[in-house]
Amino acid sequence: MPSSNGTTTAARRGRPGYDQQSVLKIAVDVFNRHGYDATSMGILADNLGISKSAIYHHVPSKGDLLRLALEHALGGLEAILTAPGANEGPADARLEFVLRHTVAVLVDRLPFVTLLLRLRGNTDVEREALERRRAFDHRVAALVAAARDEGSVRKDIDPRTTTRLIFGMINSIVEWYRPGGTLSPSKLADDVVAVAFEGLHS
């Protein structure tokens, strides 16, 4: 039925135009700005411009938004480890493949990975995500150890320490990298690999 301004009721009801993915994208931005714990469904509704009940049309709870967001981040990272490049060839080549693609996933899914890196482990969803992240780090540490055993990287640094240092560098990207700037994702990956391997090669 037309309204007084000439629009239809159906069009007005559909005006926000949200689906689950668009709700999720905005929710992740709000979580990153306010912190997950401090973000209420009311704050999310205000940022979306819809009612709280409309959010529940897309997801059952705030926790489900967090779970979906973290799955998007972790799924991208875990897929790297199942690719042929991470499992075939010399260990240092596999390590380089993992580092390059980790940077690519981080840049491509920047808000989602930012949320992952800021978890505090206060909920079951967060603790499960942190455990998956640790498992990813352990796989990378095993690659470092394999490269060390092959003689392609230096042996005087513990692989777990090396992994922490490398990911300290990579994880810092979320704090300063801005997509669309002069530094392209591929050049960023080149720079990360250069810094990592110049310090690692024996």
What span, in angstroms and rounded, lies between the C-alpha atoms of 30 and 118? 13
Which domains, from first to last, does the chain contain? Answer: 16-55 (1.10.10), 66-200 (1.10.357.10)
- pLDDT of 89: 97
Could you tell me which of 135, 131, 39 has the C-alpha nearest to residue 82? 135
pLDDT digits (tens, 9 = 90+) for 121-156: 999 999 999 999 999 999 999 999 999 999 988 888
CA quadruple 87, 92, 98, 101: dihedral positive or negative?
A: negative
Could you tell me which of 177, 202, 180 has the C-alpha nearest to residue 191? 177
Could you tell me which of 144, 166, 142 has the C-alpha nearest to residue 156? 144
Q: DSSP assignment, residue 85?
A: G
Phi and psi angles of residue 55, each rounded to the nearest 5 degrees, phi first: -65, -40
pLDDT digits (tens, 9 = 90+) for 39-76: 999 999 999 988 888 888 889 999 999 999 999 999 99
What span, in angstroms and rounded, lies between the C-alpha atoms of 138 and 100? 17
- Which one is predicted more confidently, 57 or 115? 115
* Half-sphere exposure in the Cβ direction for 63 (13 Å, CA): 9
Helical H runs in the chain? 9-13, 20-34, 41-48, 52-55, 62-82, 91-108, 110-117, 124-150, 159-171, 173-176, 185-200
The answer to whether the beta carbons of residues 48 and 18 sit under 8 Å apart is yes
Beta bridge partners of 2: 8
What span, in angstroms and rounded, lies between the C-alpha atoms of 17 and 15? 5
1 pLDDT exceeds 50?
A: no
Could you tell me which of 53, 60, 67, 82 has the C-alpha nearest to residue 127? 67
Reading the block at residue 195, the tokens are 């810094």
79 pLDDT exceeds 90?
A: yes
What span, in angstroms and rounded, lies between the C-alpha atoms of 170 and 140? 13
Whole-prediction pTM: 0.85
pLDDT digits (tens, 9 = 90+) for 92-102: 999 999 999 99
Mean pLDDT of the chain: 89
What span, in angstroms and rounded, lies between the C-alpha atoms of 62 and 24? 10
